[in-house]
Structure 1
Amino acid sequence: MSLDRAATKPHEALSAILSEDMDAVNALIRARMASEHAPRIPEVTAHLVNAGGKRLRPMLTLAAARICGYDGPYHVHLAATVEFIHTATLLHDDVVDESAQRRGRPTANLLWDNKSSVLVGDYLFSRSFQLMVETGNLRVLDILANASATIAEGEVLQLTAARDLRTDEDVYLKVVRGKTAALFSAATEVGGVIAGADDAQVQALFDYGDALGIAFQIVDDLLDYQGDPKATGKNVGDDFRERKLTLPVIKAVALADGEERAFWQRVIEKGRQEEGDLDHALTLLHRHGALEATRDDALSWAAKAKTAMQTLPESELRTLLIALSDYVVARVN
């Protein structure tokens, strides 16, 4: 999902303020993705790491630590840990989804093979645990280990729920909290923990990351049906063609009559898609206000993120993280 279309870009301001820390994070990533015996590991990792991502998750860790007054070295380790976990999940996701493109470039599984993508992802998970152990903080280890398990759990849940019309919004939220929000909330929470913040501040950072991650994923799902492919890096309807039951479709299915439900069963559950089906799906989404309702949900979660962040000490970084909440959903306003 691109963050380039809105008028202001708080992630770029974050990057500028945190540039020294991010340079240290990038240096640590380059050092730890190296392998003396398996040169394919840095080849595959570099292909994805250098693909132009915003490094949003590691910046959240750095910003959270700084907001809470941290002046030690280990926020860099945790930011690199978060990026390694994220990269590992992307490698695995592209294999599971049989993807051929990410961020406008061929995926690693296409350029190399599925086995390389899976094994390099496993290597990065291992490296991430080495990094978090080096902080010497068991609470940090607990948070990130739980997040890693939750991400995997969310992906497995999605396998069974994504093409089942019985999937409702509660199940969708569990999937999103697993596959996306878990790493956002862990990224912000560990920043506060490593800084020695009090329980209320750590909870606020968790709540911010959780709500921001949910808003982020809802917007991503919404843009699949109404986004600009040049901005999103995805073709309109990719989720539909992959038979993914995302929030707009879940909302439309809940309001469908018998004929409409039979359509959704054919194209999503049975996978018998025909020419013109995407246009008909868009008609049904508009008929039931599903896109507008999905947009409202995204804005609601962004508002929750802003409310959580406003309880933390006032600073330029706090202001930027509040602005980031608005920015994530700016393209659907």
Structure 2
Amino acid sequence: MRAVDAVIAQRLATNVPLIGQVAHYIISAGGKRLRPAMLLLVANALQYKGSRHHDMAAVIEFIHTATLLHDDVVDESTMRRGKPTANESFGNPASVLVGDFLHSRAFEMMVETGNIRVMQVVAAGTNIIAEGEVQQLLNMHDASLGEQGYLQVIRSKTAKLFEASTQVAAILAGADAAQERAAAEYGQALGTAFQIIDDVLDYDGAADEMGKNVGDDLREGKATLPLIAAMQRGTAQQAQTVREAIEQGSTAQLTQVIEIVRATGAIEVARQAAHGEAERAIAALAGFPDNAYTEVLRGLSERLLQRRS
């Protein structure tokens, strides 16, 4: 990760001071660096001998950071990782344009690998992420969204970059087709579990732990799995309360909605869904070499279920 940080610092160099200022602000804001870490772990688990995984881990972090910058503008978010968002600090135009810079720099670096398969996977992945973002926009304030529609969005919007990270690592390592598919499945499953838990924490966490405002999802009119489960399991009146909150995008009834989510067992339903995805991730590692890196990848799945931020 220190090598990745060195690549990030080097490739953020630009003659436009504002780009560096905004990019450094969000990249240094205390993120988990989970996607680049997974790329490094999978590459090492598959016994990769080289340094391109450092470059590609930086590429993945740049793409992720670009999507965060754009997401926060679209969602009108004011807090991320316990700090004001970049759009709150620098304004929407700077956030959007610096996000564009990070995307273009990531693709410039990706081309330098000279690996067409890497380019195909990342290019296709970023396209699917964009589709997921647009689909989520269309789903805003739609209380009729079901679990399958919800999963389709998070597998595109969130899990796809996890999947691309682990699949690229396998490609760099020269893995066979079966291991490449397994690496991709591991990333998709872990990314799906990660997002489900993130959505759970909006109704089962505290702002000081999460680094964002509790109730942001409800304010944005997002029908996430805890709300979907609550509407399915609650009384007609409880379901109506949640439905109206989603449709109106109002946090006026946030306390009542949280109580309904907890009382109906929706938190447990969502956590169980995340557990199933984590188990799928662990199962995907069955064909990996038995080494310390593979063991850490298994442990990541277990630890993710316990996250509070």
TM-score between the two structures when normalised by the length of structure 1: 0.89
Deviation of 1:286 (Å): 3.0
Letter in 1 for 2:21: E
SS across alignment from 1:314: coil
Letter in 1 for 2:254: L
Gaps of 5+ in 1: 1-21
Aligned to 2:254: 278
Deviation of 1:307 (Å): 0.9
Deviation of 1:256 (Å): 4.6
Aligned to 1:252: 230
Aligned to 2:2: 23
Q: Residue 132 in 1 paired to residue 110 in 2?
A: yes
Instruction: Work out the percentage of aligned pairs sharing the same amino acid.
Output: 47
Q: Residue 80 in 1 paired to residue 79 in 2?
A: no
Aligned to 1:62: 40
Deviation of 1:273 (Å): 4.9
Aligned to 1:33: 12
The CA distance in 2 between the partners of 1:50 and 1:176, in whole Å, is: 25
Deviation of 1:244 (Å): 1.9
Aligned to 1:115: 93
Deviation of 1:242 (Å): 3.1
The 1:273/1:41 distance shift into structure 2, 3 A limit, reads: closer
Aligned to 1:146: 124
The CA distance in 1 between the partners of 2:251 and 2:214, in whole Å, is: 15
Instruction: Report Cα offsets for 1:9-64 as digits up to 9, x if no partner.
Output: xxxxxxxxxxxxx222111111211212x211110000011111121111111111
Q: Residue 330 in 1 paired to residue 306 in 2?
A: yes
The 1:283/1:111 distance shift into structure 2, 3 A limit, reads: closer
The CA distance in 1 between the partners of 2:125 and 2:144, in whole Å, is: 27
Deviation of 1:272 (Å): 5.0
Aligned to 2:49: 71
Q: Higher mean Cα deviation, 109-118 or 229-238?
A: 229-238
The residue correspondences of 1:211-222 to structure 2 (distance < 5 A) are 211-222=189-200
SS across alignment from 2:158: helix
Aligned to 1:291: 267
Letter in 1 for 2:158: T
Instruction: Report Cα offsets for 1:115-154 as digits up to 9, x if no partner.
Output: 1111110111001111111111101000000111111111
Contact 1:162 1:246 in 2 (8 A): no
Q: Residue 170 in 1 paired to residue 148 in 2?
A: yes
Contact 1:310 1:322 in 2 (8 A): no
Q: Residue 302 in 1 paired to residue 270 in 2?
A: no
Aligned to 1:15: none
Q: Residue 161 in 1 paired to residue 139 in 2?
A: yes
Q: Higher mean Cα deviation, 139-148 or 252-261?
A: 252-261
Instruction: Report Cα offsets for 1:219-278 as digits up to 9, x if no partner.
Output: 11111111133321134333223332111001122345543343233221123553xx22
Contact 2:36 2:60 in 1 (8 A): yes
Deviation of 1:206 (Å): 0.5
Letter in 2 for 1:218: I
Deviation of 1:324 (Å): 0.5
| Match among 264, 267, 287 for residue 311 of structure 1 | 287
Over the aligned positions, Cα root-mean-square deviation in angstroms equals 1.5
The CA distance in 2 between the partners of 1:48 and 1:272, in whole Å, is: 28
The 1:235/1:114 distance shift into structure 2, 3 A limit, reads: closer
Deviation of 1:331 (Å): 4.1
Gaps of 5+ in 2: none
